[in-house]
Amino acid sequence: MRRFNIAVLAAVTLSTALSAVPAHAGDGSGRPGLAHCTDSACHFDVPPGTYDVRVLLGGKAASATSISGETRRSLLPETAAPAGERVTRSFTVNVRTPEGEPTGPDGTPGLDLRIGGTAPALAGVEVSPARHDRQIFLVGDSTVCDQPGDPYSGWGQQLPQYLRRGVSVANYADSGESTVTYLGNPRLWATVRPLIRPGDLVLVQLAHNDKTTDEATYRANLETLVAGVRERGGQPVLVTPIVRRWFNTDGTLNNGTALLVNGLGVDHPAVTRSVAAAQDVPLIDLTAKTKALVESLGVEGSKSLYLYNEKRDNTHTSVRGATAYAQLVRDELVTRHLVPKGKVRVG
């Protein structure tokens, strides 16, 4: 594969306006510059694939820079650099079409990065095809997916910022999907499965939309997903669904709507735990983790995790909630030895 030598080496604080110019693989002059960037964004004309990104942060004044990309994915948390100093960070990003939800719009070709933070300063950026990378595929619904617009955010949209270079997230979660529809739509499981390589992780969180799925079908569908991942040499990981924010009068979450028991009496988290045990599949019990967090915050404190204040929505998460839940997933990936500790960011 041809290596894209895209190096931008000038120390430029992005609070200073820069003129936008078309992205290219270098102007041949040998002069440093931010030719791929404006004051708030960078664009690189690269084909679909997985890319390593190395950024140099900092300027004359103290700075704090975050980076997002593609469809609102958080790629690097806000990173501080003292005045006059430079900080280097690297991450790996998945570029694909569609760039967000698999059944959504194609998005823009190439790799788009957005520069944010309380005092952003980008001094340099280099993009090159990733080598020896490991992907984490996400199979899920609207609580996981790359949500296209504010105020919504899925936890899978926030997870990439906690992974270092060498591990990327390929988020194939899609709004409105159940185990039945995910398996049945050719743009979903039939597209994801051939992409899985030996050693890749595939995290499966599907339950919120299995409202009319009986227990036998739900169990069989999870087993089908597990078998499909293993046939490709990947590592399946079952994830119980995040809770809905529905409280009892005593301040605990109710055992039905909140804890994902559908109208047929199917306890989705319990079935997921059962399949994980029977199939010897790693389990991330996100239901238990999110239940503990929501109940600890209480009726009022937990509102900001969801879109209650904006939409009276107790199912979908805000950026704050999605970020908190992504941190729970990150911690479980390390605890269960699915991702080496050295490959995650704690801050």
**Can you list the domains of the chain with their CATH numbers?**
6-129 (2.60.120), 134-343 (3.40.50.1110)
Q: pLDDT of 262-307, one tens digit each?
A: 999 999 999 999 999 999 999 999 999 999 999 999 999 999 999 9
pLDDT tens digits along 29-61: 222 337 889 889 999 999 999 999 999 999 999
Could you tell me the end-to-end alpha-carbon distance of the chain, in angstroms, rounded to an integer?
Answer: 34
pLDDT level of residue 95 (50, 70, 90 thresholds)? very high
Residue 22 CA to residue 24 CA, distance in Å, equals: 6
- Burial annotation 314-343 (CB, 10 A radius, 16+ → b, else e): bbbbbbebbbbbbbbbbebbbeeeebeeeb
Cα separation, 308 vs 263, whole angstroms: 23
Q: Which amino acid, residue 196? A: I
Pairwise CA distance, residues 11 & 15, whole Å:
12
Reference 168, options 200, 210, 195; nearest CA is 200
- Residues paired with residue 140 on neighbouring β-strands, in sequence order: 205
Q: Is the dihedral of CA 295, 338, 209, 212 positive or negative?
A: negative
Joined tokens for residue 288: 């238990």
pLDDT at 347: 67
Q: What is the pLDDT of residues 197-233, one digit of tens each?
A: 999 999 999 999 999 999 999 999 999 999 999 999 9
- The two structure tokens encoding residue 21: 């110019």
Q: Are 205 and 252 in contact (CB under 8 A)?
A: no
pLDDT score recorded for residue 17: 28
- Nearest in space to 261 (alpha carbons), one of 233, 232, 238, 291: 291
Give how far the C-alpha of residue 252 lies from the chain's centroid of Cα atoms, to the nearest Å: 29
* 3 state DSSP class of 32: coil
